[in-house]
Amino acid sequence: MTSSRLASSVFFALIAAAVSACGEKAGAPTMQGYIEGEYVLIGPETGGRLTNLAVKRGDHVAADAVLFEQDDRDERSALVEAEAKRAAGAATLADLKSGRRPEEIRVLDAQLAEAEATLTAAQKAYDRYQALSSKAVASVASLDQSTADLDVAKARVGAARENRAVAELAARPDAIDAATQNLAALDAAVQAAQTALARRSRSAPTAGRIENTFYRVGEMVPAGQAVISLLPESGARKVVFFVPETSRSRVAPGTRIAIGCDGCASGLAATVSNVATDAEFAPPVIYSKESRAKLVFRVEALPEGAALQLDPGQPLDITLASGS
């Protein structure tokens, strides 16, 4: 408990004991209380220099509104690098899956056509020398040479056709699997870089009011240190008051209380949500009747209706409902 909260608690406890004693004599217990806010402290996950503070004290912000930003030049550079590596990995995988490029295939088609033309010429030469050799016009050596040329031309056509067929095939499955896994790792690196960049900016987790700011633009903010104090619009206010020991049995979770304050509308109410089990501001001794009269118990209640708009710190008059 902070010194300011302790001082305010002591103040309200003393008033509660005095006022409630008078109220019990009149048969209508009345105590003093106040509105307490439950603030959300928002800070960066990693340290860095504050480059933008988009809000100021008293501003009302919507959920997901940008609150502040940190220097993110390193993170942006890392993201660009990760995206470039992912693009290269994707291109490699696509190349392995698609086989040769159209330009390369056209070259292979031209080589196959050339080989087939050479085969045709070699076949004609062989046929001619064979006819001449049978008439003893051409030498046996010339026939042997034409036969060898024909065999070479046939081999070249076969090789060109095999190269053209291979060009239509994708890479080996193991190479494609390796490239696929590499691309998945590169995708993860991009996501990590995007997350690191997103962490350099913080947004409001819920709609509410900016209660306080703790840093200025240009200052270094350590990781986890609060930059913004936000009071959410709903569920962040509660009524706090202290009941004397003599009235403790009349208050329990679910008990409705009436609220009054200076300048407030009439008919404000709240429902008790928690009653402390330990008394405050008394020594741990066996209590006599006289000492029990000085004991007070902290009580919290959830405001309802128009009471939800009361600001933290607002002093209140608390009246227990009749029959409590």
How does pLDDT run across 281-321, given as a tens digit for each residue? 654 444 445 555 567 778 888 898 888 888 898 888 888 86
The per-residue pLDDT for 138 is: 61
Residue 296 Cα to chain centre, angstroms: 44
State yes or no: pLDDT of 132 exceeds 80.
no
The per-residue pLDDT for 155 is: 86
Q: Answer yes or no: are the C-beta atoms of 48 and 202 closer than 8 Å.
A: no
What average pLDDT score do residues 191-204 get?
95
Burial 187-198 (b: 16+ CB within 10 A, else e): eebbeebeebbe
Residues 33-90 have pLDDT tens digits of 899 999 999 999 999 999 999 999 999 999 999 999 999 999 999 999 999 999 999 9
Name the residue with tokens 């603030």: 39
What average pLDDT score do residues 132-147 get?
72
C-alpha pair distances (Å), 1 with each of 14, 271, 312? 18, 24, 17
The helix/strand/coil state of 254 is coil
CA distance 242 to 276: 10
What average pLDDT score do residues 1-17 get?
44
Residues 198-240 have pLDDT tens digits of 999 999 999 999 999 999 999 999 998 999 999 999 889 999 9
Percent of the chain residues topping a pLDDT of 70: 81
Amino acid identity, residue 158? G
Q: Which parts of the chain fold into alpha helices (H)?
A: 3-26, 73-98, 102-134, 140-166, 173-198, 289-292
Q: Answer yes or no: are the C-beta atoms of 236 and 41 closer than 8 Å.
A: no
The per-residue pLDDT for 29 is: 61
Residues 245-283 have pLDDT tens digits of 888 888 999 999 999 888 888 889 999 999 998 887 654
**Which carries the bigger pLDDT value, residue 101 or residue 62?**
62
What average pLDDT score do residues 161-166 get?
76
Task: Note the pTM of the prediction, 2 decimals.
Answer: 0.61
State yes or no: pLDDT of 19 exceeds 70.
no
Torsion sign across C-alpha atoms 18, 19, 20, 22: positive
CA distance 78 to 193: 6
State yes or no: pLDDT of 140 exceeds 60.
yes
Q: Residue 275's beta-bridge partner residues?
A: 299
What average pLDDT score do residues 17-43 get?
69
CA distance 129 to 182: 60
The per-residue pLDDT for 12 is: 46
The per-residue pLDDT for 269 is: 92
CA distance 285 to 287: 6
The per-residue pLDDT for 74 is: 95
Q: Is 37 exposed, middle or buried (0-12, 13-18, 19+ CB in 10 A)?
A: middle
The per-residue pLDDT for 221 is: 95
Which of 150, 156, 152, 115 lies closest to 129, judged by CA? 150
CA distance 38 to 138: 112
Q: Answer yes or no: are the C-beta atoms of 273 and 257 closer than 8 Å.
A: no
Q: Residue 315's beta-bridge partner residues?
A: 34
Average pLDDT, the chain: 82
Residue 47 Cα to chain centre, angstroms: 17
The DSSP symbol for 100 reads S
Q: Answer yes or no: are the C-beta atoms of 57 and 221 closer than 8 Å.
A: no
Q: At what angle do helices 140-166 and 102-134 cross, to 10 degrees?
A: 160
The per-residue pLDDT for 323 is: 56
The per-residue pLDDT for 173 is: 79
Number of H helices, E strands in the chain: 6, 14
